[in-house]
Structure 1
Amino acid sequence: CWSTICHTTPRERQSLNAANMEGFGLRSCGEDILRLGFMVRRGVGGRNPILRRAMVIKMRDRSKNRKPLQRGRMLSIEAIQAVQALKRANPLLPPPPTSSSTSSSSSPMLDRVISSKFCRLLKFDMVAVLRELLRQNECSLSLKVFEEIRKEYWYKPQVRLYTDMITVMADNSLFEEVNYLYSAMKSEVGLMADIEGFNTLLVILLNHKLFDLVMDCYAFMQSVGYEPDRSSFRILVQGLEFNGEMGLSAIVRQDAHEYYGESLDFNEENEEISSGIGVLV
């Protein structure tokens, strides 16, 4: 019987298969089933026909199901669990002002969570946890996690990351922590920076009226090879004069004159810089 089916034309085979399904409520849908790739053959000894379908199953690595993290902005399941565990273990003590007191002020439970949950994460997940804690204003946990990240072999100090840390600490009026982070940034070897990163940091410090750090950052960026550009001078002059620091502004104006002469207009792009400050803070 099966050899007869194999030697028939496709149209005859289709009619024969539809006929074989008579009595089972499948005559009307026989053509649809055939189009879906089912194969119908008569059972042995007059038994009910067997409905078969060829299926192809493809397997792939489960790691491909998750989108890659970009700058730590997306949280994986492991990162979310780490954040939750860290917050549960947090003793709710004020954040430590120095790295030496970081380990002494943390609870044993928090240390266990860091070693068992956080330190086992991938690089991007670690950074994602840090940024999520910063977003939630978990200042003490952020400092603790940041110190652990600094111990990793892949860690590369970046001005932009320090700027994010300083922003959250300053917004929460933790100015001792701001000074600690700024000093830590200056002590880093191989600090990765760009002029935009320094300009952002200058804006943050000006917004919080940390004028000593503003002038120190202005000198520091030059000492590491990043000369201020036109935007840097405009940010400094406008920010200092807006806060009444005319003496400091005069120093910056003199430096700007040496760089650009009379061609630099400090009132230019005033609206753009002001809107940028609002976004950055």
Structure 2
Amino acid sequence: MEASLSLPFRSARPRLHQAPTTSFVTCGLRNSTRRPLWRSDVLSTEAIQAVQSLKLAKSTPRLNHVLGTTLARLLKSDLLNAFAELKRQNEVDLALKVFEYMCEEEWYDTELTLRCDMIQLLGKNKMVALAEVVFSGLLKEGIEPDTRAYAEMIGAYLRADMIEEAMQTYEKMKAAGRTPNEFTLMILIRNLEKAGEKDLVQLVKRDCVEYLDSPKKFLEEVDRKHPKRRSVDLV
């Protein structure tokens, strides 16, 4: 059973709350034109050690102490890379803990990519209610999610077979003026066809004509990767 959520805000800053057996997430962001913090594909020694320490302390009474002492010593880039590595390893509980820590940092408000990564990880693990809180945190501070944020939330719903919610989010995405990209259209077509939602499939395919430069080529590629599907109809 997925955790219930608590949504207190302190001075418009997000806070995450940890229950005895699971994580509670509340977050948001403020608009900024600053570029995201630098990240590297190569983990530093400090980031590697932090990930190892957290994994060793996982499910032990020492975890909160390790979090407080280990993360406080990391540079911003190392902290972000440690989070990315935990995400790569699908250590969702630890990633939530690190995300909670980063929500209190001064630079957190500029990190839209971080929110998208968190929504993606939660969606992958079908923790939809928590993903919704991360996503809605953007709206609570008056910030319209970008294309990727919408796409990750749609993906989270689709993984949980929540077709209606996925389509509602898709419509909100278009209404907000965010152009659906090939990734969004691909996952919608794939999952709607799997669910037997023929009318919705045709709706999304018609949108391909409107939003993509080469819709026929794109839909042919969809059929090539998934040959059991019927030939696409662009009319």
TM-score (norm 1): 0.52
Q: Are 2:72 and 1:119 aligned?
A: yes
Instruction: Find the partner of 1:149 among 102, 115, 118.
Output: 102
Q: Please tell me the root mean square deviation across aligned C-alpha atoms, in Å.
A: 3.7
How far apart in 2 are the matches of 1:78 and 1:141?
17
Instruction: Find the partner of 2:58 among 68, 86, 90.
Output: 90
Instruction: Find the partner of 1:269 among 210, 214, 221.
Output: 221
For the pair shown, the structure with the greater C-alpha radius of gyration is: 1
How far apart in 1 are the matches of 2:224 and 2:138?
28
Whichever residue aligns with residue 49 of structure 2, its letter is: Q
C-alpha change, 1:182 and 1:268, in structure 2 (3 Å) is: same
How far apart in 2 are the matches of 1:89 and 1:152?
23
Instruction: Find the partner of 2:188 among 218, 236, 239.
Output: 236
How far apart in 2 are the matches of 1:121 and 1:75?
12
State whether residues 157 and 191 of structure 1, in contact with CA within 8 Å, keep that contact through their aligned partners in structure 2.
no
CA deviations 1:109-143 (Å, max 9, x no partner) are 43332222203311110111111111222211111
How far apart in 2 are the matches of 1:75 and 1:233?
33
State whether residues 138 and 145 of structure 2, in contact with CA within 8 Å, keep that contact through their aligned partners in structure 1.
no
Q: Are 2:184 and 1:216 aligned?
A: no
Identity, % of aligned positions: 33
How far apart in 2 are the matches of 1:157 and 1:192?
12
Instruction: Find the partner of 1:77 among 41, 45, 48.
Output: 45
C-alpha change, 1:130 and 1:188, in structure 2 (3 Å) is: farther
TM-score (norm 2): 0.60
Question: Which residue in 1 is equivalent to 2:89?
Answer: 136
How far apart in 2 are the matches of 1:110 and 1:257?
48
How far apart in 1 are the matches of 2:100 and 2:225?
33
Counterpart secondary structure, 2:170 = helix
State whether residues 71 and 127 of structure 1, in contact with CA within 8 Å, keep that contact through their aligned partners in structure 2.
yes
Unaligned runs of 5+ in 1: 1-68, 93-106, 275-281
How far apart in 2 are the matches of 1:112 and 1:137?
22
Select the structure with the greater relative contact order (CA < 8 A; seq sep ≥ 6). 2
Shift of residue 177, structure 1, vs aligned partner: 3.2
